Structure 1
Amino acid sequence: ACLLNAEETQGNLDMCSFQLKTLNDLSKELFGSVDTETIIRNFLLTTMGNFGVLKGFVLLLPLDSEKGDRFASVGFDETDVARLRHNCRQCAWYGKPHEKKDDQTPWACKHVISHGIELVFPFLVEKKFQGVLGLGPKLLGSSFAPHEKELLETLINNLVIAIKNAQSFERVLDLNQLLNKKNTDLEETLQTLSATIQKVELLENIKENLSKFVPMTVTNMIEASPEGSLPESKEQDLSVLFLDIEGYTKLCEKFDSTKVNNIVEKHFSVFMDAIHSNNGDVNETAGDGLMVLFLNKDKQQNALDAARSALSIQKETRRIGHERLSLYRPLDIHMGIHSGTALVGATKFSSLTGSRWTYTARGQIVNVASRIGSLATGSSILISKVTSDRVCRQNSVKPMGQFKLKNVSDEVEIFKLLPEFRTKSKRS
């Protein structure tokens, strides 16, 4: 009896030693990694080694955030792995261990056992049956004892803890990657915003400093490309308006400079309103005159813009003259308009005092417009035949005859632009 008790005690000690060793070995393998694939693989190899089996597998069904399952196997041919994996997925849902000799083993688990598996052991992750362990027969040929099944359950609990830790770590990694991406996106957005702010500040600085000296067209071109070069001059259709104040010299002789400036500023304010409201661009100013470009790409429209601008100037100048009649004789504003093709573009003038950009037109059209304007008298608006043909459907014009202009070889037919607008005739 004493000998039997001693053998039983020794057996219990051996069993406890085996369990402690197995737990120790498994803990080292499981908690030394945070990669789920590595954890499953190490768990399978350690368990098989401690229980002395040559075949085994672990299946972990996909978790909520995963797309595919995790599977590790040892001792199977590649041709058997796919079929085994399929049957394991179904077996995992039965939720309790099954053995080869158990007559109540479900059909799916029987298919798993048919691959040479002795024990099928489903387990829970996050309170769901999402995993299954399968072990082949022992090398010694003995069945799995109850205490070994209990140990397996403990080992699987450790596996579940390790898997949860790995999942938490993976979630932290995902969140960290997401945070890094958002930080990168935010940094790029801030850089873009900073560059945009710098560009806006640059544009505002350019506009503030150049608007007094540069025509609006050049200002817009610089605004569109503050760091690039301005486009080269090119042939373009346009209408050119020349405007001249008659009697400017006499005005200067009659009044002091302050009053003359006030008179001129009053008139030029009217000029600028009319020009800008009709898409004109003041190209040159010279004391008592202006050169204005109308650059609409539509031929008829640029001529109409010039005509409307001139008529508006004529009307407003007469209004100012009536208001100031007691102070000085109303000024006569003479205007000439010609339309056609010219070389148009930005030009930079450099001198010892600095550089200045302007947007100008060069060609015979400019000379003709200037000469036509010099023929105007009594605040009239004279236009060329080209311009007349473009505006005569909307505006009234009066033929004035053929004129010889300075530096122009052929005579030029000239028309007077009248303030009356044409109306469409009614059909009877």
Structure 2
Amino acid sequence: MDHYYKERFHVQQDLIKKIAPLTETGDILEMVREQLRSLIPNAMEVCVLLLDPDAAKYTSPLQCALYDRPVSCQSCKRDRPAVQQAIARKKAVVVADSDPIVRPDGSRMTVGPEYAMPVFVENRILAIVSVVIQPLTRYTRRDFYLIRDFANVLGTILLTARRQWEITREKIRISQTLASLTPFVPGSVRRMADKNPELLTREKETKQVSVLFIDLEGYTGLSATRPEAQVNAIIEKVFSSFVDPIHRSHGEINETSGDGFMIIFKDHEPKTNAMNAVKAAFEIASRCRSVSLSLAGELDLSDIGPMTVNMGISSGTALVGMTMFKGMLDTRMTFTASGSVTNIAARLSDHATGGDILISRTTRDLIEGLWPVYDRGKAKMKGIFEPIQVYSLLKPA
């Protein structure tokens, strides 16, 4: 049996070359229609009827050439028997004796047999390919194969166009949401939402994380002795130097306050998260020393001494995800890791002095053997009922 494999292969290759440069879905559909019309010798017209209710949002209907003026294929062919039967039966239908085409001026155009082929996308009929040939002619087996091939191509085109429209619509929705919340949303949240929009609506999940808190020592003295604009410039320069080390270590900056911020390490297994937190802490301490020296050369900071950062790291289970705080006047969105691990890291940061890096027992266990760790004994900390064991990554003076 002749299936015309060679010809069909070359026809599809030629079609792919012709539609590749096109970007608009309407132009692509028109090119497919023209190609199919040229391949069927007796074709009077080839129409693509878009049945997807959302089709108008990502393309426009084609115009039927059987009229003396532009008429949408949707209104021309939708009610014809071949199309209706194809939709009802969910398969290709041939009507041998087609009704004449009635033009707006009342004139009639006699047509021959009409063939309607559904275009399936994920088990849904998104379109119908309607082919009308000249009177007293008939379709060949070759015609049927070509029409089916083109219907399959159209399915891929429509699926891609619909998905692109859905992605664009979702990005616009996310963009509008974030735009209205911009004054209240941390930059890290906006970046994460740009990369992964579903984070905004995803439920929180329990994950093993490491949390690093940073606190700038001497901030109060700096604020008391310097103009606000100068303080802001100094803090911005210091904190900006920390961004690259944090990102290199796969950390996410969560919340910032005047003199510190919180960083979450959550994207790897527990040991790697803890290692990344420690690496970031050491590099942050080094950056702070460098920036402090450069600022000392630019400004007189002798009254407050060199700036240092105190840090606390804790590891463990946390509830991770988006948190939205709604008030009467505004809404604030942030990405948080909540639980005792966060509280302990914050308290260790508060407890540290002189640029120390304090870690919890859980973090010490995860990095054991990788860095020297110094026991600082137990300490009672605000908000924590029992004294906790404290360790330092820096050798005591």
Normalising by the residue count of structure 2, what TM-score does the alignment of the two structures yield?
Answer: 0.56
2 CA distance for matches of 1:301 and 1:415?
A: 19
Q: Which residue of 2 aligns with 1:131?
A: none
Alignment of 1:93-104 (within 5 A): none
Judge conservation of contact 1:211–1:219 (CA < 8 Å) in 2.
no
Q: Which residue of 2 aligns with 1:220?
A: 192
Evaluate the alpha carbon distance shift between residue 323 and residue 198 of structure 1 in structure 2; reply closer, same or farther with a 3 A threshold: same
Judge conservation of contact 2:249–2:277 (CA < 8 Å) in 1.
yes
Q: Which residue of 1 aligns with 2:279?
A: 308
Judge conservation of contact 1:203–1:226 (CA < 8 Å) in 2.
no
Q: Which residue of 2 aligns with 1:283?
A: 254
How far has the Cα of 1:321 moved from its partner? 1.2
Q: Which residue of 2 aligns with 1:384?
A: 360
Q: Which residue of 2 aligns with 1:262?
A: 233
Alignment of 1:13-162 (within 5 A): none
Between the aligned residues of both structures, percent identity stands at 30
List structure 1 segments (4+ residues) > 4 angstroms apart after TM superposition. Answer: 62-66, 165-185, 200-212, 225-228
Find out whether 1:230 has 2:202 as its counterpart.
yes
How far has the Cα of 1:240 moved from its partner? 1.8
How big is the alpha-carbon RMSD for the aligned residues of Structure 1 and Structure 2?
3.4
Letter in 1 for 2:375: P
1 CA distance for matches of 2:330 and 2:217?
A: 33
Which whole-Å deviations, capped at 9, do the CAs of 1:337-395 have from their partners, x for residues lacking one? 12222333322110012222222233332222222212211111111222122223222
Judge conservation of contact 2:186–2:255 (CA < 8 Å) in 1.
no
Q: Which residue of 1 aligns with 2:378?
A: 402
3-state DSSP of counterpart to 2:258: coil
Evaluate the alpha carbon distance shift between residue 346 and residue 194 of structure 1 in structure 2; reply closer, same or farther with a 3 A threshold: closer
Judge conservation of contact 1:218–1:357 (CA < 8 Å) in 2.
no
Q: Which residue of 2 aligns with 1:319?
A: 290
Find out whether 1:347 has 2:318 as its counterpart.
no
Which whole-Å deviations, capped at 9, do the CAs of 1:216-260 have from their partners, x for residues lacking one? 3685367545498321x3433222222111221221222212211
Evaluate the alpha carbon distance shift between residue 280 and residue 400 of structure 1 in structure 2; reply closer, same or farther with a 3 A threshold: same
Evaluate the alpha carbon distance shift between residue 386 and residue 188 of structure 1 in structure 2; reply closer, same or farther with a 3 A threshold: closer
Instruction: Give the one of 331, 350, 361 matched to 1:374.
Output: 350
Which whole-Å deviations, capped at 9, do the CAs of 1:126-153 have from their partners, x for residues lacking one? xxxxxxxxxxxxxxxxxxxxxxxxxxxx
Normalising by the residue count of structure 1, what TM-score does the alignment of the two structures yield?
Answer: 0.53
Letter in 2 for 1:252: S
Instruction: Give the one of 152, 162, 165 matched to 1:194.
Output: 165
Judge conservation of contact 1:215–1:358 (CA < 8 Å) in 2.
no
3-state DSSP of counterpart to 1:401: strand
Find out whether 1:248 has 2:219 as its counterpart.
yes
Judge conservation of contact 1:214–1:358 (CA < 8 Å) in 2.
yes
Which whole-Å deviations, capped at 9, do the CAs of 1:393-416 have from their partners, x for residues lacking one? 222222222222233233222121
Q: Which residue of 1 aligns with 2:36?
A: none
Letter in 2 for 1:283: N
Letter in 1 for 2:274: A
Evaluate the alpha carbon distance shift between residue 245 and residue 345 of structure 1 in structure 2; reply closer, same or farther with a 3 A threshold: same
How far has the Cα of 1:65 moved from its partner? 5.8
Evaluate the alpha carbon distance shift between residue 204 and residue 377 of structure 1 in structure 2; reply closer, same or farther with a 3 A threshold: same
Which whole-Å deviations, capped at 9, do the CAs of 1:274-302 have from their partners, x for residues lacking one? 22221222222121121222224422111
Evaluate the alpha carbon distance shift between residue 215 and residue 395 of structure 1 in structure 2; reply closer, same or farther with a 3 A threshold: farther
Gapped runs of 5+ residues in structure 2? 6-135
Letter in 2 for 1:230: R
Judge conservation of contact 2:199–2:322 (CA < 8 Å) in 1.
no
Letter in 2 for 1:301: T
